[in-house]
Amino acid sequence: MEHMIDNQGFLDLPHRLYPWPVVSRESEEALLKGAHPLSDQFTLTPFVVHRGGQAAGRCAITTYPDSDVAYLGFFEAEDDTIAHELLSWAETTARGLSRERMIGPVDGSFWLRYRMKVDHFDVPYAFEPYNQPGYHSWWTAFGYSTVHRYSSSFYPQITDKDLDAGADQLVAVMTQQGYRVESLRLADWDQLLPQIYSLVMELYSTFPVFNTITFEAFAQLFGPLRTICDPHLITVAWQEDTLVGFSIVLPDYGPLTQAKISPVMLARLMWRKHNYSSIVALYMGSAVRGIGPVMATRLLQQCQQKKLSCVGALIAEHTSTAQYAPHLITHRNHYELLGKDLSTNPSSHE
């Protein structure tokens, strides 16, 4: 096995290992070049293992100033031997940088891709973290343990009898208290985005691996959603002129969201935007108690009216959102964030 700097091999490997795109090549290329909107926040150290003249494994360490944590991400390996090589390099590198803890998978940032999928390895829904089934066992065998758990809830097409009879009463109460819950008006996008940014920075600040970013970076990352969103699926909640809640829901584009942009791919995205039978609830936040259930109820009502199935995506374990309408959930996909203490002597796995 050989080790060398090989950006091309780094970028090509995921597209050889999977039958569909699971990462954005354009985003990863920008990160390697230091030209990504978030590149000025961290230092990215990539690593590629070669076997038989081609890349057989890759990963990268991300470090932030004034942090004793090294984030391991961009992890791909053909087999357990390659995985061991990658994990050994990562631990040695992190120790050399005086980091006391490893956490992963984190592809650079909270705002990019993180978490490891641990079950249900079928076709991914839009923006789902995806990896090979063996990765979890390879990491745990190397001494990593679970630090956070997440799940995605799958809801089938919903009928009238499935909806909570008390939901309309809750909506009425919030309306009487002066709150307004409605769909996004696309013409308001530019005015709304700064308010969503402020609310996200406040509400998400306690999430694992969260880091604050500038509005300019936020706008570059999330601005493209304007092109692929159906504004009727996006819910915003107001108290007078102040945004107090949001729910970002997209048509389920599956792996198309990670595919290389081309005229043909854009045409496929635009067709799916207007012809979808499943949706993905990606982000929700509320600064007011009671608004979250109202937005969730509104979403299920939309599913019932349009005969849609729904994925409630990437919800942290033991949160109220994870327990919403459990009687309707057909199954859950599970994900983990893993960690390893480096403050003691190097492990025997090295």
Number of structural domains the chain divides into: 2
Q: What is the pLDDT along the chain (350 residues), one digit of tens a residue?
A: 556 668 999 999 999 999 999 999 999 999 999 999 999 999 999 999 999 989 999 999 999 998 999 999 999 999 999 999 999 999 999 999 999 999 999 999 999 999 999 999 999 999 999 999 999 999 999 999 999 999 999 999 887 666 666 666 777 778 788 899 999 999 999 999 999 999 999 999 999 999 999 999 999 999 999 999 999 999 999 998 899 999 999 999 999 999 988 899 999 999 999 999 999 999 999 999 889 888 988 898 899 899 999 999 999 987 766 667 788 899 999 999 999 999 887 655 55
- Do 113 and 170 reside in the same domain of the chain? no
- The reported pLDDT for the residue numbered 166 is 63
CB atoms within 10 A of CB 54: 13
- Do 300 and 272 reside in the same domain of the chain? yes
- Nearest-CA neighbor of 148 among 331, 324, 318? 318
- Do 104 and 248 reside in the same domain of the chain? no
Q: Tell me the CA distances in angstroms from 183 to 25, 234, 245, 273, 311, one per residue in order.
A: 32, 6, 12, 16, 19
233 part of a folded domain: yes
State the Cα–Cα distance between residues 204 and 316, nearest whole angstrom. 12
- The reported pLDDT for the residue numbered 4 is 61
- The reported pLDDT for the residue numbered 146 is 98
- Do 89 and 197 reside in the same domain of the chain? no
Q: Which residues contact 91 (CB under 8 A, 6 or more apart)?
A: 102, 340, 342, 346, 347, 350
Per residue in 152-199, pLDDT (tens digit) is 999 998 876 666 666 667 777 787 888 999 999 999 999 999 999 999
Which residue(s) pair with 333 in the sheet?
152
Per residue in 28-79, pLDDT (tens digit) is 999 999 999 999 999 999 999 999 989 999 999 999 998 999 999 999 999 9
What CATH number does the domain containing 63 carry? 3.40.630.30
- The reported pLDDT for the residue numbered 161 is 66
- The reported pLDDT for the residue numbered 3 is 63
- Do 168 and 105 reside in the same domain of the chain? no
Owning domain of residue 37 = 2-150+336-341
CB atoms within 10 A of CB 298: 19
- Provide the whole-model pTM: 0.93
Both structure tokens of 350 = 């090295």
The answer to whether the CB of 259 falls within 8 A of the CB of 265 is: yes
177 part of a folded domain: yes
